[in-house]
Amino acid sequence: MGAAVRASRPSLPPAPSLLADATDLAGVERRVKALAEQRPAVYRMLDPSGRVLYVGKAKRLRARLLAYFQARFPQDKGARILHAAGDIAWDYQPSEFAAHLTELHEIQKWRPPYNVHMNQRRNTLFIRVSNDSAPKLSTTAKPAPDGGRYYGPLTSPMRAAEAIRVLNDLLGLRDCAQRMPMVFAEQGDLFGAPRRAGCPRHDLGLCSGPCAGLVTAAAYHERVESAVAFLEGRAIAPVDRIVAEMTEWAARAEFEVAARWRQRFEALEWLLGATTRARAAIELLTFVYHQPGTHGDDRAYLVRRGVVRAGYPWPATPIEREAFRAVVRADLEAATPEAASQGPLPPPSETIEEMLLVMSWFRRHPEALRRTSRIEDWM
């Protein structure tokens, strides 16, 4: 059967489709050899009904597809995908970077069953400071535009949860359910008899008791701001207390107690380093990236806070540069001062994977940073 054509981008070459019966793998292989080029691409394996089974990327498409035919069936995953597919289609990409981005977007769109790694949500999370009368520190894998402040992404959920527990205990912040009613000391006229805290943490000295009127609103919010200052790298007061306690217990030869304080120190040391690295990586990944194309089709990517906001052919003429400047200005105007004044906002859930991909790309290709320019240079 002749090759069909699939084209998803007018600016790119047409995407061949190799529809074949599963028993005609030799014919499919011949057509791959005849049609596939050695250039970056994203390819799709489809079953006979047209359902996307697998999305992959290739720096050299022809070599990547031919490797499937060398895989052993049924031991190798590639061979199993090939035997399950009735159709192979691809779109050429300007560069390997473009192939990475397109692969991610297509996996997010189709959720193919054979894309086990990228089809699953990454094991990352954010620290959330809630926006209510008694803010709470917690971890979440799904940031939401709920008025809270978010810090991350972090890559170790267990270590993050332990560090937040230590931070809550040191600062006396609540860790109860969000729906727990809160009353502060200045609201004493709301209750006659003294109230008890809703959990033992207050009796253990680990919570200031905002659920029972045992702390003023101002004092509690001061504790929250200490936590925020720590997460933003502006203060390390909680660590100072740990060091003092650790030193004092060691001086008393109470080494087991000192060791427990050292564990708390290590938890907060990790958290401070993780949030600092995440913040620095995101803030540094704001620029215009010039990505050379394999066939002269260079691209300009507007990257802001680790997310590709726009991608265009590299502007080579004055008119093209002015048009791209307009794109940059429009995107920057979308970041309103009102939004910036609310503190760290959560990235949209659909962009977290892209943010991690971009961070990974520039970590593995540090030389690519030499092809970046400040956004201000395009204003």
Structure token digits, residue 11: 């600016």
DSSP conformation letters of 266-324? HHHHHHHHHHHHHHHHHHH--EEEEE--TTS--EEEEEETTEEEEEEE---SHHHHHHH
Region of 296 please: left (phi>0), alpha (psi -120 to 50) or beta: left
N residues, the chain: 379
pTM for the predicted model, two decimal places? 0.71
CB 223 within 8 A of CB 195: no
Residues 47 and 19: their CA atoms lie apart, in Å, by 10
Domain ranges of the chain: 4-119, 125-276, 285-378
- Look-up: residue for tokens 């810090």? 151
Q: Domain 4-119, CATH 3.40.1440.10 — does that match?
A: yes
Q: Is the dihedral of CA 90, 91, 92, 94 positive or negative?
A: negative
Print pLDDT tens along the chain (379 aa).
Answer: 333 333 333 344 444 555 444 447 888 888 899 999 999 999 999 988 889 999 999 999 999 999 999 999 888 999 999 988 878 999 999 999 999 999 999 998 999 999 876 555 566 889 999 999 999 999 998 888 888 999 988 888 899 999 999 999 999 999 998 888 888 888 765 555 557 787 889 888 899 999 888 899 999 999 999 999 999 999 888 898 899 999 999 999 999 999 999 999 999 999 999 999 888 888 889 999 999 999 889 999 999 988 999 999 999 999 999 999 999 999 888 764 434 434 466 666 667 888 889 988 998 999 999 999 999 999 8
Phi (first) and psi of residue 6, to 5 degrees = -130, 125
pLDDT of residue 288: 97
